[in-house]
């Protein structure tokens, strides 16, 4: 469980000298690439242990899909899915991130042992989540977000400059979080690749992740894993299968690590760890 001060926690979660690897545990029936694979408590716990054995530094556990077009679930449904999984894996020593937009789920997850709250809506869905973060020594991942999963694919106009647009809107989210008492040291930012972004816009944000960190003054999480925009790098015959995007994910993770991001959020942990370790060795011998 989280007993450290915020700055100490930030140091303890991130491995020295390299980008952290956050493994995804979707306790959902409808996530875009692995929905239903781990949608019961026993399977999700076993999958979390598998990802830890492969080298994951953090487990990001979620109970609601946010893929384009997905339907919302209640906070009660979400908590029923994830809290037993969080409690068990945290008791086994895992560093846990709760992937939620609900303040009540965030609070229950922290009580169960989560040290990180990963809010893809950046507080827009439930502003009460800021108070939960402010009251606990946890990290808060504030993602850029527009609309809802049903509408976000239509909200991609950034007046020709997606980096400036995303940074400006994330700055507004950070101001709201700080006004609610969240410490700057608690915050990680996520540009929200694929969320209200065209495929080229996601590639631009990925390529400019170091600029995003400079402009916002906060560490960056990159969540590119298996997303549709990665298909641009693949042969069209393979592009439609999310599982075919793991090598591109590992490559983009390596490039993001080279740019100095705080962590990458991925499905295929072992492949990503190899990529991240390669970058760490490259930097060590420069």
Catalytic annotation, residues: 227, 265
Cβ proximity of 118 and 100 under 8 Å: yes
Whole-angstrom Cα distance, residue 279 to residue 259?
10
Please state whether 116 falls in left (phi above 0), alpha (psi between -120 and 50) or beta. Answer: beta
Task: State the SS3 of the chain.
Answer: CCCCCHHHHHHHHCCCCCCEEEEEEECCCCCCCCCCCCCCHHHHHHHHHHHHHHCCCEEEEECCCCCCCCCCCCHHHHHHHHHHHHHHHHHCCCCEEEECCCHHHHHHHHHHCCCEEEECCCCCCCCCHHHHHHCCCCEEEEECCCCCCCCHHHCCCCCCCHHHHHHHHHHHHHHHHHHCCCCHHHEEEECCCCCCCCHHHHHHHHHCHHHHHHHHCCCEEECCCCCHHHHHHCCHHHHCCHHHHHHHHHHHHHHHHHCCCCEEEECCHHHHHHHHHHHHHHHHCC
Cβ proximity of 192 and 186 under 8 Å: no
Cβ proximity of 92 and 110 under 8 Å: no
**Residue 232 carries which DSSP code?**
G
């Amino acid at each position: 469980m989280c007993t450290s001060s915020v700055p100490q926690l930030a140091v303890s979660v991130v491995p020295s000298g390299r980008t952290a690897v956050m493994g995804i545990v979707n306790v959902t029936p409808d996530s875009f690439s692995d929905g239903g694979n781990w949608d019961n408590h026993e399977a999700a716990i076993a999958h979390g242990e598998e990802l830890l054995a492969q080298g994951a530094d953090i487990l990001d556990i979620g109970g609601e899909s946010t893929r384009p077009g997905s339907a919302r679930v209640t906070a009660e449904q979400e908590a029923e899915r994830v809290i037993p999984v969080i409690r068990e894996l945290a008791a086994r020593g895992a560093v846990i991130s709760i992937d939620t937009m609900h303040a009540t789920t965030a609070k229950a997850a922290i009580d169960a042992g989560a040290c990180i709250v990963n809010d893809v809506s950046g507080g827009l869905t439930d502003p009460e989540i800021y108070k939960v973060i402010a009251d606990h020594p946890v990290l808060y991942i504030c993602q850029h977000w527009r609309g809802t999963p049903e509408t976000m694919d239509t909200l991609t106009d950034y007046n020709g400059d997606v980096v400036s647009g995303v940074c400006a809107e994330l700055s507004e989210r950070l101001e709201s979080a700080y006004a609610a008492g969240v410490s700057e040291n608690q915050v990680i930012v996520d540009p929200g690749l694929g969320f209200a972004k065209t495929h080229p816009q996601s590639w631009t944000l990925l390529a400019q992740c170091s600029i995003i960190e400079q402009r916002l003054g906060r560490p960056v999480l990159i969540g590119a894993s298996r997303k549709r925009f990665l298909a641009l790098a693949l042969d069209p015959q393979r592009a439609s299968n999310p599982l075919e995007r793991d090598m591109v994910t590992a490559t983009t993770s390596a490039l993001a690590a080279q740019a100095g991001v705080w962590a990458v959020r991925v499905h295929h942990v072992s492949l990503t760890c190899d990529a991240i370790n390669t970058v760490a060795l490259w930097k060590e011998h420069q």
